[in-house]
Amino acid sequence: MNFSISEENYIKSIYHLQQQTDTVTTNSLANELQTRPASVTDMLKKLQVKNLLEYEKYKGFRLNATGNKVALNIVRRHRLWEYFLVTKLGFEWDKVHAIAEELEHISSKDLIQKLDNFLNYPQTDPHGDPIPDVHGKIPVIRQVSIAEVPVKKNVTVSSVGNQSPEMLELLDHYHIGIGTSLKVTMRFSFDGSVEIKVLKQAACIISEQVAKNIFVYHD
Amino acid sequence: MNFSISEENYIKSIYHLQQQTDTVTTNSLANELQTRPASVTDMLKKLQVKNLLEYEKYKGFRLNATGNKVALNIVRRHRLWEYFLVTKLGFEWDKVHAIAEELEHISSKDLIQKLDNFLNYPQTDPHGDPIPDVHGKIPVIRQVSIAEVPVKKNVTVSSVGNQSPEMLELLDHYHIGIGTSLKVTMRFSFDGSVEIKVLKQAACIISEQVAKNIFVYHD
DNA sequence: TTTATTTTTTAGGTTTGTCTAAATTTTTAT
DNA sequence: ATAAAAATTTAGACAAACCTAAAAAATAAA
Ligand SMILES: [Mn+2]
Ligand SMILES: [Mn+2]
Ligand SMILES: [Mn+2]
Ligand SMILES: [Mn+2]
């Protein structure tokens, strides 16, 4: 089956929203796609007819097995292109999302296979998010947010939750990126803020909100 | 200005048809784009309003200076991606056109600039066609068809006129590609067919029609 | 130079994906 | 439990990019 660019964007957004809440609402999807709830309802009907959704009027919706597979394929293309843009073309990690948003819709199987091979089968994209394989299998990455890391444990940054330009700007400012090694030196119970120490950098304090969005694994 | 995928396909096709006949007809464009003459007329009106065309009802049309610049930019993107697909991803030269046909519509200036840099500013695409630079300037390639080459002159293949899969298949069969060195050993005046000799290969005979579609430069 | 043929345009539809405004259903608050 | 608010769907339009069939213009043939 082949899908339009619009259909693919809907499918992918539903997939992402499902990571947080099992069943997705019309409003949240409209908000995610910067469109109107009425437009979402229209598209839901089409996706249901194409047998990608479980959807009951007024009750919310979710991807079925088929829809999930389609979504994972789009996510795979998106993340492979992001990896390409950063590692081969030299883009900054906060500049690649919009471009990958277009590249992901080129659906030649052969293209993605050869791209994957050219990139040497990367496991994660530039934001630390796992890249599904051809069959839709996602490498599991054991990680916790800095908000949950015990003091004095050495950890390495594996991914970023909130990937807004504002967040990425902040991380760049602190010189924190995927693969950065650091240690939690102190945690303030007053507001949940955390003091961290990156090798060769002065210690700095990040808010609980930021801490919750930086994921790390124990060394 | 930004253009839809459909508009870009029309603009590029007009550009290509203009290489052969100065002014383009509705039917020829409909044929090129595999669409109906009525659809072409519809789009012509739109492109005229956007000030890309010189167009007089029933009299044919052509790109104006602005339209030409837009076309050259699309051609540039198309050929850079073709070059990428062949040299980096390892595609065969007869498999890249359809994919580049989609990639060419991703219009991020930054993307194309970085891609060009990554590819090390290639002058020609995998079919030997020149790649316009950022300003739309096309490198001139002095070349003649094999049909015009004098006997016994050593020449090198620079590009291919007809780029249909059938033609590319035939060239692959003869082991002829861009950069292949060869010599015309004989020309038969009866039907214009030509005997050619490629280094380390047995001499072979190609029809006048094929000869007219292989372009070469003198060594 | 009429007539016939071909080319091009116009008129009127269709599909996809969007919108606003109104109606309906669900949820929350009193 | 009922009223108010919020979420969702329906109804009806619209633009883009197609289409077919018919009309109009240009070209070729008799
Ligand atoms: Mn997208
Ligand atoms: Mn990413
Ligand atoms: Mn195209
Ligand atoms: Mn080419």
Per-residue pLDDT of A101-133, as tens digits, reads 999 999 899 999 999 999 999 999 999 999 999
Q: Which residue is nearest to nucleotide D20 (CA to C1')?
A: B38
pLDDT tops 90 at residue A183? yes
Q: How far from A191 is each of A9, A187, A194, CA to CA, in Å?
A: 38, 9, 9
Report pLDDT for B141. 86
pLDDT at residue B16, as a whole number: 97
Cβ-contact B73, B87 below 8 angstroms: no
Contacts of B215 (CB under 8 A, 6+ apart): B128, B143, B144, B145, B146, B157, B158, B159, B160, B161
- Ion ligand 3: residues, CB < 5 A: B 9, 101
pLDDT at B3: 97
The arithmetic mean of pLDDT across residues B150-165, rounded, is 92
Q: Do B106 and A102 touch (CB under 8 A)?
A: yes
Mean pLDDT score across all residues of chain B: 95
The packing angle between helices B37-49 and B5-20, to 10°, is 100
Four-way CATH pick for A5-63: 3.30.460.80, 1.10.10.10, 3.30.565.10, 3.40.50.10440: 1.10.10.10
pLDDT of B37 reads 98
Closest residue (Cα, C1') to D25: B58
Helix (H) or strand (E) holding A66: helix A65-87
- Partner residues linked to B63 by β-bridges: B53
Q: What integer pLDDT is reported at residue A9 of this predicted model?
A: 98
pLDDT at B30 over 90: yes
Nearest-CA neighbor of A164 among A102, A124, A210?
Answer: A210
* DSSP E strands, chain B: 53-55, 61-63, 144-145, 154-160, 181-187, 194-198, 204-206, 214-218
How many Cβ atoms are within 10 Å of A95's Cβ, its own excluded? 16
What does the pLDDT read at residue B120?
A: 98
Q: How many A×B Cβ pairs under 8 Å?
A: 41
Mutation to test the A interface, candidates B108, B113, B116, most A Cβ within 10 Å: B108
Q: Please name which ligand lies nearest the alpha carbon of B107.
A: 3
pLDDT at site A195: 95
pLDDT at position A213: 95
Tell me the average pLDDT across A2-19: 97
What residue has token string 């359809």?
B98
Q: Look at residue B155 in the predicted model and tell me its pLDDT.
A: 95
**In this structure, what is the dihedral angle of CA atoms B181, B186, B187, B188, given to the nearest 10 degrees?**
-140
Instruction: Name the segment(s) of chain A with CATH classification 2.30.30.90.
Output: 143-217
Judged against a pLDDT cut of 90, whether residue B105 lies above it is answered with yes
Section A162-173 average pLDDT? 91
Q: Tokens at residue B89, please?
A: 């991803």
**Selected residue with higher pLDDT from A168 and B86:** B86
What are the start-end ranges of the H helices in B21-132? 26-32, 37-49, 65-87, 97-103, 109-118
- The set of residues, in sequence order, having a beta carbon less than 8 Å from that of B109 and lying 6+ positions away, is none
Predicted local confidence at residue B214, as pLDDT: 96
Positive or negative, the Cα torsion across B197, B203, B208, B213? negative
Residue A93: burial class (beta carbons within 10 Å; 0-12, 13-18, 19+): buried
Contacts with A, B 72-101, CB within 8 Å: 85, 88-91, 95, 98-99
Residue B215 in tokens: 């372009």
Coil/strand/helix, residue B171:
helix
Most trustworthy range by pLDDT among A145-154, A184-193, B9-18, B166-175: B9-18
Position B199 scores a pLDDT of: 87
* B99 closest CB neighbour out of A98, A102, A106: A106
Residue B107 has pLDDT above 90, yes or no: no
pLDDT digits (tens, 9 = 90+) for B50-98: 999 999 999 999 999 999 999 999 999 999 999 999 999 999 999 999 9
Helical (H) or strand (E) element with A61: strand A61-63
pLDDT at A199: 87
CA-nearest residue of chain B to A116? B89
**Integer Cα distance of B186 and A158 in angstroms:** 67
Answer for the pair B161, B212: CB distance below 8 angstroms, yes or no: yes
How is domain B143-217 classified at the CATH fold level? SH3 type barrels. (2.30.30)
Q: What is the pLDDT of residue A141?
A: 86
Is residue B203 within 8 Å of residue B182, measured between CB atoms? no
Spatial distance from the CA of A36 to the C1' of C18 (Å): 9
Average pLDDT of the residues in A55-72: 97
Give the per-residue pLDDT at B219: 80
Q: How confident is the model at residue B118 (pLDDT cuts 50, 70, 90)?
A: very high
pLDDT score recorded for residue A1: 83
Rounded CA-CA distance B127/B104 in Å is 16
- Write a three-state SS string for A5-19: HHHHHHHHHHHHHHH
CA distances from B169 to A167, B41, B162, B175, B204 (A): 52, 35, 12, 10, 16
| pLDDT higher than threshold 90 for residue B1 | no
Q: To the nearest whole angstrom, how far is the Cα of A116 from the nearest Cα of chain B? A: 9
- Buried b / exposed e along A139-155 (16+ C-beta atoms within 10 A): eeeebebbbebeeeeeb
Residue A104: closest CA among chain B residues belongs to which residue?
Answer: B103
- CATH 1.10.10.10 domain residues, chain B: 5-63
Residue type at position A121: Y
At residue B54, what are phi and psi to the nearest 5 degrees?
-100, 120
